[in-house]
């Protein structure tokens, strides 16, 4: 049967509350429908009809279930069965059982099975309404909680890794992300410093506020101060209006200072002053402005060395370094290159509408042995190139431009060299043991069959 009522328009703030009344008494159906008018009420006259309605529609918030359903209105068996089935189908639905001519004990059993509450028949529509209101509130709270859980960020979101080293870093991120501490990220180029900086922001209570990144190495020294701290109109030639710096833009959020090792010394002093006072002055201005930022910094340089050379302020180093995270190079993360390659392949398949299914054996081997001087960024670029260039279903080492022949050759040679050495040792051992194979094998610490294979017998 089609409903004649117009489809409810779902909006975010005002969701309609849907109630299913499972009741075989037609008079009661009518009366209840009327009493519960603010809700969208559907009715079902039997267990099967109820299940049909529940499977067809989007989940009901509340089901009011008469325990005494046909064929045997005087026993609760059909009702209890329906209860089990409803909770199986839509566990989030709140079921209120109604019991009249069946024993109250069954209502208690129903609640034990997971019903939200029970009401006695004859139904008092006021009481029922209060119970339904409560059930709906509970339902909403539970949904909200579920969404919060689903949406609550974890470091691992968007971070691909399988290695133990990165798993440890993810744990550190989860711990320090929500705390208002300065974090310094140290790692080679392309290791994912910016990815981590963003993860820290996402994990913090500041995540609805701006994340502002600035690369200290890419901006000429004379412009960097104004970029960071802003300037007043007329502060210098070309300063035609007051401009906010990155600090002000990041107010209440996170400021990511990339390549902090390249920050000129005078600016280091100004940054230190800001970190002590949490106030700044724009270039050419006198007004002192309070800014609330969480600082995340990154560098691929050895700051200790810069400090020793007098190029980085030691006091600043300690200020920006509440927590220091050292990112391992990709070649040190066992298993990650292959995982990341797979991940990037999926992404680029989508971007370029390709259907490449994976990597050949030689490509996987090449991914694992390549030293990755450009780390994850290099890997990403190679996979991108390969996806664009690949002519086959699977990406080869050649597609990745990872000298398949070179690594393969070196491997083979190594194995050959080893075999030669082994054979020489075996021969010597045999000579030392006067030709006694058992003794010779013992001398080399290998089994007899293994020894045979070493001297080239089978
Ligand atoms: N663990 C990871 N999972 C998924 N993608 C990653 C991961 N690490 C890095 N990437 C990707 O690799 C690229 C390089 O990462 P990112 O820019 O964070 O590196 P970086 O350390 O800041 O490099 P640089 O020092 O050159 O600035 C980006 O495209 C980033 O999305
Ligand atoms: Mg970077």
CA of 327 to the centre of ligand 1 (A): 11
Find how far residue 311's CA is from the centre of its chain.
Answer: 38
Spell out which residues line ligand 1, taking CB within 6 angstroms.
Answer: 159-161, 187, 189-195, 300, 376-377, 380
What is the atom index within ligand 1 of the atom nearest the CA of 189?
25
Q: Which residues pair with 299 in a beta bridge?
A: 186
pLDDT, average across residues 26-55: 87
Query: Per-residue pLDDT for 29 more than 70?
Result: yes
Q: Which residue has the higher pLDDT, 11 or 313?
A: 313
- Residue 33: pLDDT band with limits 50, 70, 90: confident
CA of 14 to the centre of ligand 1 (A): 41
**What is the Cβ-side half-sphere exposure of residue 129, based on CA atoms within 13 angstroms?**
13
> Out of 3.40.50.2300, 1.10.3720.10, 1.10.10.10, 3.40.50.1820, which CATH number does the structure's domain 18-150 have?
3.40.50.2300
Ligand nearest to the CA of 383: 1
CA of 393 to the centre of ligand 2 (A): 33
Residues 6+ apart with CB under 8 A from 111: 97, 117, 118
Among 200, 224, 158, 167, smallest CA distance to 298 is for 200
Question: Which residue, by CA, sits nearest to atom 16 of ligand 1?
Answer: 192
pLDDT, average across residues 392-412: 71
Ligand nearest to the CA of 347: 1
**What is the Cβ-side half-sphere exposure of residue 397, based on CA atoms within 13 angstroms?**
17
Ligand nearest to the CA of 193: 1
Q: Which fold has domain 332-402?
A: Helicase, Ruva Protein; domain 3 (1.10.8)
Tokens of 379: 């890997």
Query: Per-residue pLDDT for 141 more than 90?
Result: no
For the stretch 77-134, pLDDT in tens is 888 999 999 988 888 899 999 887 667 778 778 888 888 888 888 888 888 888 898 8
For the stretch 215-274, pLDDT in tens is 999 998 889 999 999 999 988 888 889 899 999 999 999 999 999 999 999 999 999 999
3-class DSSP assignment, residue 248: helix
pLDDT, average across residues 180-192: 95
One-letter-per-residue 3-state SS of 79-147: HHHHHHHHHHHCCCCEEEEEECCCCHHHHHHHHHHCCCEEEECCCCHHHHHHHHHHHHHHHHHHHHHHH
Among 205, 202, 196, smallest CA distance to 169 is for 196
Tokens of 437: 């194979």
What is the atom index within ligand 1 of the atom nearest the CA of 336?
1
**Measured at the alpha carbon of residue 215, what is the angle toward residues 209 and 217, in degrees to the nearest 5?**
165
- Residue 8: pLDDT band with limits 50, 70, 90: very low
Pocket test for ligand 1, best of 299, 330, 376, 381 (most atoms within 8 A of CB): 376
CA distance 165 to 161: 9
CA of 192 to the centre of ligand 2 (A): 7
Pair 259, 221: CB distance under 8 Å: no
Query: Per-residue pLDDT for 412 more than 80?
Result: no
Question: Which residue, by CA, sits nearest to atom 7 of ligand 1?
Answer: 192
Query: Per-residue pLDDT for 35 more than 80?
Result: no
Question: Which residue, by CA, sits nearest to atom 18 of ligand 1?
Answer: 192
Ligand nearest to the CA of 330: 1
Q: Do the domains 18-150 and 332-402 sit in the same CATH topology, yes or no?
A: no
Q: What residues does each domain of the chain span?
A: 18-150, 164-328, 332-402, 417-454
CA of 380 to the centre of ligand 2 (A): 14
Tell me the C-alpha to C-alpha distance, in Å, between residue 251 and each of 153, 255, 294. 21, 8, 9
Pair 65, 83: CB distance under 8 Å: yes
| CATH architecture classification, 164-328 | 3-Layer(aba) Sandwich (3.40)
CA of 352 to the centre of ligand 1 (A): 21
- Residue 195: pLDDT band with limits 50, 70, 90: very high
């Amino acid at each position: 049967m089609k409903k004649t009522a117009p489809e409810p328009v779902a909006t975010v703030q005002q969701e309609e509350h849907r109630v299913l009344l499972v009741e075989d008494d037609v008079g009661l159906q009518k009366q209840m429908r009327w009493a519960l008018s603010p809700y969208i009420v559907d009715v079902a006259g039997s267990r099967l009809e109820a299940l049909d309605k529940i499977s067809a529609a989007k989940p009901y918030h509340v089901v009011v279930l008469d325990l005494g359903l046909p064929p045997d209105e005087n026993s609760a068996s059909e009702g209890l069965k329906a209860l089990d089935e409803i909770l199986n189908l839509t566990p989030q639905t709140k079921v209120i059982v109604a019991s009249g001519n069946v024993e109250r004990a069954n209502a208690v059993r129903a609640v034990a099975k997971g019903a939200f509450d029970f009401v006695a028949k004859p139904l008092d529509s006021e009481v029922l309404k209060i119970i339904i209101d409560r059930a709906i509130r509970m339902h909403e709270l539970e949904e909200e909680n579920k969404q919060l859980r689903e949406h609550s960020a974890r470091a691992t979101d968007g971070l691909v890794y399988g290695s133990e080293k990165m798993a440890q870093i993810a744990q550190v991120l989860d711990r320090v992300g929500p705390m208002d501490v300065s974090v310094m990220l140290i790692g080679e180029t392309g290791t994912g410093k910016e990815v981590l900086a963003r993860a820290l922001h996402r994990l913090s209570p500041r995540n609805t506020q701006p994340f502002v990144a600035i690369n200290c190495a890419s901006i000429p020294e004379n412009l960097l101060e104004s970029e960071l701290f802003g300037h007043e109109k007329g502060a210098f030639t070309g300063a035609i209006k007051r401009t906010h710096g990155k600090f002000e833009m990041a107010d209440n959020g996170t400021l990511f200072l990339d390549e902090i090792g390249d920050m000129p010394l005078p600016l280091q002093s100004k940054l230190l002053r800001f970190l002590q006072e949490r106030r700044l002055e724009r270039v050419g201005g006198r007004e002192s402005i309070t800014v609330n930022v969480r600082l995340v910094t990154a560098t691929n340089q050895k700051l200790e060395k810069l400090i020793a050379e007098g190029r980085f302020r030691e006091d600043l180093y300690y200020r920006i370094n509440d927590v220091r995270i050292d990112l391992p190079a990709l070649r040190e993360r066992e298993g990650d290159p292959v995982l990341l390659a797979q991940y990037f392949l999926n992404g680029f398949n989508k971007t370029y509408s390709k259907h490449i299914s994976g990597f050949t054996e030689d490509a996987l081997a090449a991914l694992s042995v390549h030293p990755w001087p450009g780390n994850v960024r290099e890997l990403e670029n190679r996979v991108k190139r390969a996806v664009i260039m690949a002519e086959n279903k699977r990406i080869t080492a050649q597609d990745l431009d990872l000298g398949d022949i070179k690594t393969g050759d070196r491997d083979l040679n190594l194995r050959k060299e080893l075999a030669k050495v082994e054979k020489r040792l075996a021969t010597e051992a045999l000579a030392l043991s006067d030709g006694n194979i058992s003794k010779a094998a013992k001398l080399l610490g290998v089994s007899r069959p293994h020894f045979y294979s070493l001297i080239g017998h089978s």
